[in-house]
A = this chain, B = another copy of it.
Amino acid sequence: MIRLENVTKIYDGDVTALRDASFDIPKGEFIFLVGPSGSGKSTILRLLNRQYKPERGDVWVAGKNINRMREGDVPRLRRQIGNIFQDYKLLLNKTVFENVAYALEVIGQPRHVIRQQVPQVLDLVGLAGKEDRFPNQLSGGEQQRVSVARAFVNRPLILLADEPTGNLDPATGEGIMKLLEAINKTGTTIVMATHDQVIVNSMRKRVVQLDRGVIVRDQTRGVYE
């Protein structure tokens, strides 16, 4: 499903955020990216979403080499991917409902489908009743949950989650993890960058550890450290 082959990413010509990284993620796997702050976790997720191109190496997603992809095909790639961004990236002048609905509108879902699915998903992440709020009328954790809802509302093939529980209390975070596990069970490949040792240790999934841009560990059924 996802393959990195000797990928190096250098920002602005001098910040090497990822050095010669390779791994292979089969369809349906759940994988944790761990490592200290600034080690390159978000960079990997950005490469998979074609937010950036690597300076060296190839990135394969859903059978396609996305470095060689035409610009016009990028939107189609992104629609197969659900993204939970570290800084949420919500549309500030859309309501909670509209933010989540946007991911469905982009793939051309008719209105009645949107009206039915969005409230359902918002209910799952515990935001029922907050549909009409704007992002800046929400707490940090609530905004994060909106971004979680948007990422999987269109049932993507792949889910890229950057710290999806960073601003959540343990109980709510656990709820989100249960959700991700359920989504993973339906065949969605999930790559999640996290700092939460408790979660990583309790789930016992594959763990890829980074340190200053280098993959230093790749362990099935791993723990945080």
Contacts and interface: CB of A to CB of B under 8 A. Distances in A.
B195 A167 contact: yes
A173 B42 CA distance: 18
A224 B170 CA distance: 10
Nearest to A41: B139
Q: How many copies make up the complex?
A: 2
A140 interface: yes
Interface in A179-222: 195, 197-198
Interface residues of A, number: 35
Contacts of A224: 170
Contacts of A137: 11-12, 15
B141 A37 contact: yes
Interface string A142-170: 10110000000000000000110011111
A35 B139 CA distance: 12
A195 B170 CA distance: 7
Nearest to A170: B197
Contacts of A197: 170, 198
Contact of A36 (B36, B42, B86, B172): B172
A36 B171 contact: yes
A41 B141 CA distance: 11
Contacts of A142: 37-38
Nearest to A138: B38
A37 B214 CA distance: 34
A198 B139 CA distance: 22
A105 interface: no
A138 B87 CA distance: 12
Interface of A: 11-12, 15, 34-38, 41-42, 86-87, 126, 137-142, 144-145, 162-163, 166-173, 195, 197-198, 224
